[in-house]
Homo-oligomer: A and B are copies of this chain.
Amino acid sequence: MRAVSIVGIGQTPVRKQHGDNLRALGARVVRAAMKDARIRKVDALFCGNMLGDELQGQKHLGALIADEAGMPGIEALDVRAATATGAAALRMAYMVVASSEADRAVAVGVEKMSTGMVTPALAKALDAEHEVPVGATMISKNADLMRTYLQRHDAPQDALVGFSVNAHRNAKHNPNALFRDRSVTPREVRKSRQIHAPIRLLDCSPICDGAAAVVLVPAEEARAYSSHPVQIMASSVATDHFRLEDRPDPLMLEAARNSARIAFRRANVNLEDVSFFEVHDAFSITACLLLEALGFAPAGQGWRLAAEKEIRLRGKIPIATMGGLKARGHPIGATALYQACEIVLQLTGRAGKNQVRNARVGLLQSVGGVATTMLTHVFTAM
């Protein structure tokens, strides 16, 4: 297989209500990423979108975006992995180039969540026969995790506030972030409205709209397209028992651990090599458990990384460096593509005021369902 690099990125600002439709948002970032890569056509397009079936009544979005972007004819397919859908599109684009089935591919993610019944559509990531009928939703399952975590580890009730504070702090200088003007204090997080106990409003990533894309080519040709390419060192997927209840320990995200282990082996890197981590902070507890699953902190100690500010840009393991899901926003199908764009900016020294020093290796993890499906991607500057 061939090594693969990102040579173009495209993002649109995350918004509460985008006036544009799915195809327009998708085509815009595809064109932006292609312009960045100085190309006019790709061979293949992989589209990530989780909720278009319900919220826009639209399937078959990859072909629609290819046509809208002026490339009718090319390969275009739709890929999903529940809430990790954007990362699935990235992985497919990676594979089509790695396998030599295409020389130039784009991974695009787009989601419009602002209108329609989002919560029941999101809950379809859970077990429709055993979880949803008894009232489970994505937020209720994560509330279970947070409650169990705080109790088992006898952690302070406000143990996790640092995750939200860090994310909002980093979003301030990201022009594509939803919450650019909304830095929050620990007190604000603690006092924010309780949404689903113990989860508070400021523990949650927002409902929003957005789109992002990256262009991939063989690594050996990357310099012909870009003066600042970034190599995808590894891509991996691992799953877990579908339901939390079937796992020996719900707080141990085995799929996150296994997916990272596979990716680190493929990339030939260690945890110590990771310069920064674009974490899937859909909820504060998710970020905390992922840090623990990967070994950045022992079980029960992940929250201390936040409390001690070690997740900040100058900390031991910077996370959510451009605002994360919490403050950049989490338009689901697009999220991992935003993160990939941000990783490219970090690794090529273009992250502005959010620049992580000596950024050599960027880590991206995406969570499908309640950590049922985990995708890991590892990147490095070339």
Is the C-beta of A150 less than 8 angstroms from some C-beta in chain B? no
The interface on chain A, measured as residues whose beta carbon lies within 8 A of the other chain's beta carbons, has a size of 60
Cβ-defined contact, A76 with B1, below 8 A: no
Residues of chain B with a CB closer than 8 A to A75's CB: 236-239
Among A120-128, A156-164, A291-299, the stretch in contact with B:
A120-128
In this complex, what residue of B is CB-closest to A258? B73
Residues of chain B with a CB closer than 8 A to A73's CB: 238-240, 254-255, 258
- CA separation between A132 and B67, bound complex, in Å? 18
- CA separation between A16 and B125, bound complex, in Å? 27
**Number of copies of this kind of chain in the complex:** 2
Q: Taking the nearest CB of chain B, how far is it from the CB of A232, in angstroms?
A: 12
Determine the main DSSP class of A at the interface with B.
mixed
Is the C-beta of A242 less than 8 angstroms from some C-beta in chain B? yes
19 contacts between A and B (CB under 8 A): A1-B100, A53-B53, A60-B124, A60-B372, A63-B82, A64-B242, A66-B239, A67-B239, A72-B241, A72-B246, A74-B239, A76-B237, A77-B92, A77-B373, A79-B79, A79-B92, A80-B80, A95-B95, A95-B101
A residues sitting closer than 8 Å to B (CB atoms) are: 1, 21, 44, 50, 53-54, 56-60, 62-64, 66-68, 72-82, 88, 91-92, 95-96, 98-101, 124-129, 132, 235-242, 246, 254-255, 258, 368-369, 372-373
